[in-house]
Structure 1
Amino acid sequence: MFLGQFEHNLDNKGRLMMPARFRELLETGAYLTQGFDNNLTVLTAASFEAMYRAVNEMSLTDPRTRLLRRLLFSNAVRVEFDKTGRVLIPPFLRDAANLRETVMVIGVGDSIEIWSKEAWAAQEAQIQDPDFKMDGFAALNLPVH
């Protein structure tokens, strides 16, 4: 499970150091693609392949399906780590998520999100909203002990 948040810098070639605990969970392969919130998403190979199968079962005659396929697959690259644990984020993906020097690497359970520091700050403000927290925890329907 991917947990936590980490601040890292992109180097001048667009390489990002992935946290060691995340690299361990990605040893069997991973894919990087454009996320849904002006961010990037890193999926394990198994998750990406499951998403591929699900999208492939959708009707090609549906224009929204075709757009979704283009979003997910034309913007995807296989993640490969160099010997120091860095991954190259291609320019088109850096541009899509407005990534510059400082980025946030966020664990969100079964995947990782990569955000610009500014965009993540806006997300944090939403996450920390007391009404959101109350509604979110209430929706979990956790037993009270």
Structure 2
Amino acid sequence: MALEHLFQGSALNAVDAKGRVSVPAFLRQVIERRGDARTIVLAKHDQFPALSAYDPGFAAARHLKLERLLEKEETNPDAELAYQQRNMMAFAATEETPYDTSGRIVLPPMMRAKGQIGELALFLGTGETFQIWNPKLFLEDARIPEDMKDIARFRLEERGLSA
């Protein structure tokens, strides 16, 4: 499944005490171009201390990728267990949250905890999906290139905050 609309760009938005945050318009536009659902699927990112987010239609593409991976690994005796584990993480460990007409979502408590999201949420378009980070964790992560950290610093400075 080729996705013709990709998530790109960055933004930093405040998260209120109830976990409400505005999803940037440039991300919502991609979700709406991809399908009718005004819903975001959230999951713990599998590599970073962040959330991975995408539209409901992307779940089908993700399932196909997992199926192809199983086919490639079919000679491996542990392939079926690994496939089941990946499916659990890809589908059971997710939560769907709708956004309202102003683009706000309520971060589900489990997802907010998994992503360690506090009072600020850093949104990063990453192609097929987008990520939601605690900007402090983003800046502290040694695996993040300095050029990307500069973007986070810029977004913080835009809000009058220091990194």
TM-score normalised by the shorter chain: which range applies?
Answer: 0.7 to 0.9
Q: What is the Cα-based RMSD across aligned positions, in Å?
A: 2.4
Unmatched 5+ stretches in structure 1: 130-145
In the alignment, structure 1 residue 54 sits paired with structure 2 residue 54:
no
Match of 2:138 in 1: 120
TM-score for the superposition, normalised by structure 1: 0.76
**C-alpha distance in 2 between matches for 1:31 and 1:7:** 19
Task: Indicate the percent of aligned positions where both proteins have the same amino acid.
Answer: 20
Q: 1:124 to 1:75 in 2, by over 3 A?
A: same
Unmatched 5+ stretches in structure 2: 1-5, 148-163
- Matched residue type, 2:27: F
SS at match of 1:53: helix
Match of 1:43 in 2: 54
Q: 1:46 to 1:93 in 2, by over 3 A?
A: same
**C-alpha distance in 1 between matches for 2:64 and 2:115:** 25
**C-alpha distance in 2 between matches for 1:85 and 1:46:** 19
Q: 1:109 to 1:54 in 2, by over 3 A?
A: closer
**C-alpha distance in 1 between matches for 2:142 and 2:19:** 24
- 2:116–2:134 contact (8 Å) kept in structure 1: yes
TM-score for the superposition, normalised by structure 2: 0.68
Give the 5 Å matches for 1:1-145. Answer: 1-27=6-32, 28=35, 29=37, 30-36=40-46, 37-56=48-67, 58=70, 62-123=80-141, 126-128=144-146
